[in-house]
Every structure is written in structure tokens, then in C-alpha cells.
Structure 1
């Protein structure tokens, strides 16, 4: 049972990591767009 668990863990971790990276990139892009746009209030 432990082996099966260990084999599945990296997949879920990698998926979560990818989601976090995607979210970080999205917010970073939004921040840059807001900073570049002259009339952001």
C-alpha cells in the first residue's frame, strides 16, 4: 500500500505545483498590465 501511495503522491504534488505556477503567472501578468495601463485606478 505504501508503494502505491508513494507513486501517486508525486503526480498530485506536480499537478498542484503547476496550478500554483499558472496562478502566479496569471496574477503577475495582470499586475504588469495594470502597471502599464495609464488610467488604472
Structure 2
């Protein structure tokens, strides 16, 4: 299944910053329920 999300530049940057910070600082713990596989978060 393909999903297309269209964001303007400001929204895309905000989302990128949130995801980067969540992965870096919390090892993505808040995102685990959305992950298809634990490998999506790296080693």
C-alpha cells in the first residue's frame, strides 16, 4: 500500500525536526507503536 503525504516546507521541516529529535534523544520510544518492524529504528 502506498501513502502520499503532501506538506509545505515549514510543516515538513517541523516534522523532520520532531522525528530526528525523537529518534536521537528517546531512541524512538514514542514511535514504536507506529513501526512495522523494530529494524526500522536501526541497530
Structure with the larger helix share: 1
In our comparison, the structure showing a higher alpha carbon Rg is 1
Whether TM exceeds 0.5 here: the answer is: no
TM-score, length-normalised on structure 1?
A: 0.45
Select the structure with the greater relative contact order (CA < 8 A; seq sep ≥ 6).
Answer: 2
TM-score of the pair, normalised by structure 2: 0.43
